[in-house]
Structure formats: structure tokens, C-alpha cells
Structure 1
């Protein structure tokens, strides 16, 4: 099978959870022997993955340009995966025009309209925002994203909680959605033994791409409301704030006297995570699953997070580590986990077990491939059953097409 992935950005597995999830999807396709091309209109970044080493072809494409039509007409892929709904909006009508029989797969990474709605709610009350008001959720952003989901043959959802929301709030049919969380190799018993023990670890860590609004908000909440409480009780402990693309407003928070250290981008997340004793993830808003928590589970680094951070993480299982939405309780739980070895060891072991049950690569990759093969065999009938999607493609794709052609004509003047 010939696969085209249209990326919103070039995947950066060392910079974001979205980056290493994309790499896992690409690996799944390559394991089947499928021919994979990755195309993106974004500029190539310095931290991007080496896709040619995976025998994946790289192509630069342009927005609102008919050069893409020639490219895809020549490629004739069997499967096209759009990385987030904006790419489906931009290129979906072109794919349908030149490759009508190709499966159109959408990967959301997270349900961004939910993340935006929670962001608005957090701005209003300054608290952890798991729930939103209808006027916040049913936004213009939501209309665009849900429309892209309905136009696609299948959408990969990283969180079962978001599948439930799409089905209950937006009435999206279950046949259009697939639960596809992070996919990682299991942590073997030998690898678990090799993780540094409690007494060899020190300090706290918080990690996340600074360009992602929930991560920046978490750093500010830590700086002003949580870390002072921890530092007062544990003056020798440090908080290492790691993440790609720290802006000047972040580096200005660096304060060695307070033990608040802005470390910025790290090349090897696992190495840094394994040196820390406790991972802090005080997320007040957001969506999807949290890669920083998955990394911590695999590294044997117990975490403390909020109800937003833990949403969907355990699937049908119980989340085995501390969860609280109060800054005072967050600090207290952090101090207890940092100082009580028995609690730390119990949290670590339960974390290993959850990681291996919930994020097994072979299990989720097998489910994805099976669903795609099933879809390929019954694509015509599948599309007949999705009349709403066909109707949206008929109307919205025409408007998108004419807008793109108008922009192209304007640019060529």
C-alpha cells in the first residue's frame, strides 16, 4: 500500500509528544512494508526526525498551490493521513479530486477544540478546568474540527474520553473513530531493574514544549503558586524546567536562589527524566493524553498531576499516582512523594504495570492496521453510511476549493 502523510509540522520526537506519536504511526506503516511519503508545508526544523533513515520520502508542499495537484496525481496514494484538521481543510478537496478512492485518515493528536474551550474557561476562573460551558465548547473552532472528522473516512483519537465527547456532544458515529493512544514498547523487567533507584535520584522535573499553551501555563502556576510551597519545605531540592523552544519570558523565570531552573531543550528526555525523583505536571487545561506522563511511567519516575492531566491516561484502569487540583495539596503530595521512599517505590511499580498494559505498541499498531485493511475492503459502503460527511464534502469542499484557487490567483498576479 502507498501512504501519504500530510504533516502540520515535521515530527520532532525529542520536542513533543505529538512528534513521537507521529513517529510511532509512521513506524507502524513501514512495518507493513507500505511505501510512505511525508509531506508538509512547514519549514524543516533543526530537531526534526530523520525520516529518510526510516526509508520515508520527504516532500515540501505549498499551501493554496496547484503544484500539489500534480504531485498527488502522480503519486496516487492508497491512504492519505492528515496531521490535524487544518491539513484536511487545506488539502482534503484536492485529495478527493485526484485520488477519490484513497482512504482519508485524520489524526487529531488531541481534540484541539476541547483544549481551546478549557483554555478560555481557565482564563476566566484561574482554576483547573475539566468541564466547559456549551458556549465555550460549541465554538467556530469546534465546527471546523468536527466537520473535518465527519468528512474523513476514519479519525484517530488518542483519548477514549474524547471519543465519548464526540459521540455524546457532537453525535459522531462510532464507525468514524478509532481509539489510538500512544504506542510504545513495553518496559521489560530487566529494564525496570536498571532504572536508577530512589536514593540515586534527586530534584523535581517538569517537561513540555513551551509553544504549547497548557505547558506554559503549568510553568507559571508552578512558579507563582506551587513551587514556593515546595521550596519552603525542601530548600535543597531543585525544579528543572525542561522543554523545547523556551521564549525569553520563560528564561527570565530562571532563579537559582529559589531552585527554579529553566533548562530548556534536552536531547534525551528519558535520560533527564530518569535522573529526577518526581515529575510534576500541574496542567490546568488541555486535551488528549499527556506524553510527559507516559515518559515518566516508562522511566520509573512517579508523577503528580491534575484531573486534566490524568484524563484518559489509564483507559479502563486506575491511575496509580497522586492527582489533585489544589496548589496546596499538589505541593503536599509532591513533598510526600519526594521524601517517602516506600510510597515512591509503590507508585513506580504500579506505573510500570500501567504503562505496559495501556500503551503496548504491538497491540495498538495491530488494531490500527486491521481497521485500515477492513476499511479499504469496504470503503464504498462505509462512505454510503456517512451521508453527513458526504454532504459536508459537497458544500464545504467547494467553498474551500474556490477560496484556495482565489488565493493562488491573487498570489500569481
Structure 2
């Protein structure tokens, strides 16, 4: 939605096409003047649709969409700039997930300090051995431009996967207005954690919080409460609701910023993941310090102070959480650090202008840009052929019943 807002500000005409079913909390795109279209996977009706539309720029939502529709766009709109929105590197998240499983070795409370600080070469070796990385990085090479929310992942792609820097663009989550904070330290109460339960890193974080970190916090603050918010709450998550232990499963929040603004400290004990964390952006917007791991803090603050605390071990996370909950001065400093970070790193106007300028420059010099990307051309020649033939085979199979 932030990218769409950026495009609309330029007066660009935006068409949103999706093969997915409408979600329960779908945005009202029509009121924004956005045309909507339903498209089908493995079906030549998309060819008719895209040929009639003839867009100047096509944005793919993650690499699976580029795999499915990229070759069709190239065939029918060869002059359209193809942009991939990666969100985060799924292959990085997957590699870290597998590493955590191995590191834990069946011991849910094992020390993950070395795993969190894994050398980049070792991380690359884990990623490069996966089919997921082969597919995802191939899609990045094939695209004219890939949008990255994490500058750490840009460095990984350039240094380890030989992706040309000219094909990558850093555009993190964007903040239009940084508010003055409401509510003093003494007006806030309780801890909070928030995140979609369907997202594996969030579910793992909730389990680690419930079983390990939270008991350590309660040992120091016996009446403390944590409110756990998340969409798509499964029965296994609802079963964690234990009011007597101060652990409350609150389901989906109608307004994430409202509940975050009422809390005193945000907890994000993430043991694996990638990209940057919307929950930490929300906490900064609300003036709520965050206690997290190196995974949660990665690519969030650059050279600036993190607005909270970063720790690897459960006891260190618990101690930091208690400190921010009870120390008004430290709490206030974290709040000020968060505001400075939002202004310096996540400004909507600056990033939007840079993205638009990059897109327009690439459209002007698209032929030369593509000529310099021989690896991408080679991958499109081979991979798109196989993807095309598989898609056409599925289409023919479906047509013949």
C-alpha cells in the first residue's frame, strides 16, 4: 500500500491484478481510484488482459508471481519495465529457520548466540544449497529492478550472489508523518507482542516467549501482563491463553497502533526471519520501546541507536524488558531514539522520490540496462521457456479435463 501511495502521488494510473481470493480485511482500492482485475494462473486469459492494458511498468508481488507471469509480460509487453517487490528474501528466512532447528537440536532453550551471528559466508552456503534460493535469486536476475526493504540483504545479494547493484533498489517501509508521542511512561501499562500467526517466525517467537522468556519476566514482575495480538489465530495459539500467568491471546487488533500506543514495552523475540519488521516500525511510531533479537533488529537502524534493546539469550531479553518497564528515564531515551530513527531512515517523501527517479531513469535507458544484464537475459531465455511450457501444459490439461 505504501508503494501504491507513492505511485498515486505521481498521478500514475494503477491497476491491481490478483489471482488470489479477496481477503477478509482487503483494502478499499476503488476509493483510491485503482482499477482491479481478477487474473488466473496458467491461463491464456492473462495474455489478453495484459495485451489490452499495455502497462509501462509491471510490479510483481514476490518471486512466485514473476515466475508465473513474467514470461507472459515479456512476450506481450516487451517494453514494460519489470519490477520485483521482494518484501524480504524468503530463501534467507528459510535458511535461518533450518539453522535454528539444527542449533536447537530438540532443546527449545538452547543458546542461539552463535546462530544469530552466523558469518555471511556460512549463511550463503546454506542458502545456495536450496531450491528456494535458486528460484528466488533467478527471479531477481531476470527482473529489471528488484525492490529490497533490507540494505543488509542488498549487500548479501551483491557480494555473495553476484547480483549487479544496478538491479537493486533499497526502499524500506515508509513513514509519512512522525507523530509527537501521546501518553507518558506512567500512563502506559503491560507488554505487547504482535504479528500474523500464519508467519512462521512470529509463531516461533510466541512459543519462545510463552515457554521461556515470559516466565523469566514474571519472576521479576509477578503481576506483569503481556497481550499477544495476531491475525488468523489458530486453536494452538488460543490454547496458550493463560490469564493466571499474565499471558493473554488477544486475536486480531482492529487498530495495531492503538493497542501498541497503550503498551509500555513491545516484545519481539524472533529467532529467525528476514527483511525488516513492521512491528518495530509500529512500536517506534507509538513511542513504545522494543526488546528483540539480532534477527529483529537487522537492517532496522543502520548506524543509529536501536530504540530499545537487542539480546540473544532469554535471560538477557527478560532483563532488558524489565528494565524498560521500570526505568522511566531509559524508556524515554528509547522513545527519543525511535523518533530520530524514523525521521532519518524511513521518510516517505525521500524514498518515494528516489524510487520514482530510479523507475523513470530505467525506462529511459531500458535497452542499455538490459544489455548489461546478460545473466538475466540468459535466465529468461532458459527459465522462462521451461516455465512457459509447464504453464501451457497445465493449461492444456485443465482445458481437456
TM more than 0.5: yes
Q: Aligned match of 1:175 in 154, 166, 191?
A: 166
Q: d(CA) in 1 for partners of 2:397 and 2:239?
A: 43
3-state DSSP of counterpart to 1:322: strand
1:62 aligned to 2:40? yes
Q: d(CA) in 2 for partners of 1:133 and 1:160?
A: 16
Deviations 1:280-319 (A, max 9, x none): 0000000000000000001000010100110100134332
Q: d(CA) in 1 for partners of 2:308 and 2:335?
A: 9
Within a 5 Å distance, the mapping from 1:227-376 to structure 2 comes to 227-376=214-363
Q: d(CA) in 1 for partners of 2:193 and 2:328?
A: 20
Quote the offset at 1:140 in angstroms.
Answer: 0.7
Say whether the 8 Å CA contact 2:218–2:224 is kept in structure 1. yes
- The residue number in structure 2 matching 1:10 is none
Quote the offset at 1:134 in angstroms.
Answer: 4.5
Q: Aligned match of 2:29 in 24, 27, 51?
A: 51
Say whether the 8 Å CA contact 1:303–1:322 is kept in structure 2. yes
Say whether the 8 Å CA contact 2:266–2:289 is kept in structure 1. yes
Q: d(CA) in 2 for partners of 1:235 and 1:316?
A: 36
Q: Aligned match of 1:162 in 153, 157, 161?
A: 153
Say whether the 8 Å CA contact 2:284–2:307 is kept in structure 1. no
Quote the offset at 1:356 in angstroms.
Answer: 1.3
Deviations 1:318-341 (A, max 9, x none): 324210010001001101110111
1:203 aligned to 2:187? no
Q: Aligned match of 2:127 in 123, 137, 146?
A: 137
Q: d(CA) in 2 for partners of 1:200 and 1:229?
A: 24
Within a 5 Å distance, the mapping from 1:21-32 to structure 2 comes to 23-32=1-10
Deviations 1:6-51 (A, max 9, x none): xxxxxxxxxxxxxxxxx00000111111000011111101111111
Note the residue ranges of structure 2 that are not aligned, 5 or more in a row: 105-111
1:146 aligned to 2:137? yes
- The residue number in structure 2 matching 1:410 is 397
Say whether the 8 Å CA contact 2:42–2:68 is kept in structure 1. yes
Deviations 1:186-232 (A, max 9, x none): 314xx33xx11111110000000111100000000001110001112
Q: d(CA) in 2 for partners of 1:316 and 1:387?
A: 35
Say whether the 8 Å CA contact 1:226–1:331 is kept in structure 2. yes
1:35 aligned to 2:13? yes
Say whether the 8 Å CA contact 2:62–2:84 is kept in structure 1. yes
Say whether the 8 Å CA contact 1:163–1:177 is kept in structure 2. yes
Deviations 1:132-157 (A, max 9, x none): 54542111100000000000000000
Deviations 1:159-184 (A, max 9, x none): 11000000111011000000110111
3-state DSSP of counterpart to 2:16: strand
1:123 aligned to 2:114? no
3-state DSSP of counterpart to 2:391: helix
- The residue number in structure 1 matching 2:109 is none
Q: d(CA) in 1 for partners of 2:326 and 2:298?
A: 27
TM-score by length of 2: 0.95
Q: d(CA) in 2 for partners of 1:247 and 1:302?
A: 28
Q: d(CA) in 2 for partners of 1:366 and 1:317?
A: 23
Note the residue ranges of structure 1 that are not aligned, 5 or more in a row: 1-22
TM-score by length of 1: 0.92
Q: d(CA) in 2 for partners of 1:218 and 1:392?
A: 37
- The residue number in structure 2 matching 1:5 is none
3-state DSSP of counterpart to 1:142: helix
Q: d(CA) in 1 for partners of 2:2 and 2:101?
A: 34
Say whether the 8 Å CA contact 2:305–2:337 is kept in structure 1. no
Q: d(CA) in 2 for partners of 1:383 and 1:315?
A: 31
3-state DSSP of counterpart to 1:205: strand
- The residue number in structure 1 matching 2:51 is 73
Q: d(CA) in 2 for partners of 1:364 and 1:29?
A: 12
Q: d(CA) in 1 for partners of 2:191 and 2:230?
A: 14
Q: Aligned match of 1:110 in 67, 88, 93?
A: 88
- The residue number in structure 1 matching 2:79 is 101
Q: d(CA) in 1 for partners of 2:301 and 2:323?
A: 23
- The residue number in structure 2 matching 1:90 is 68
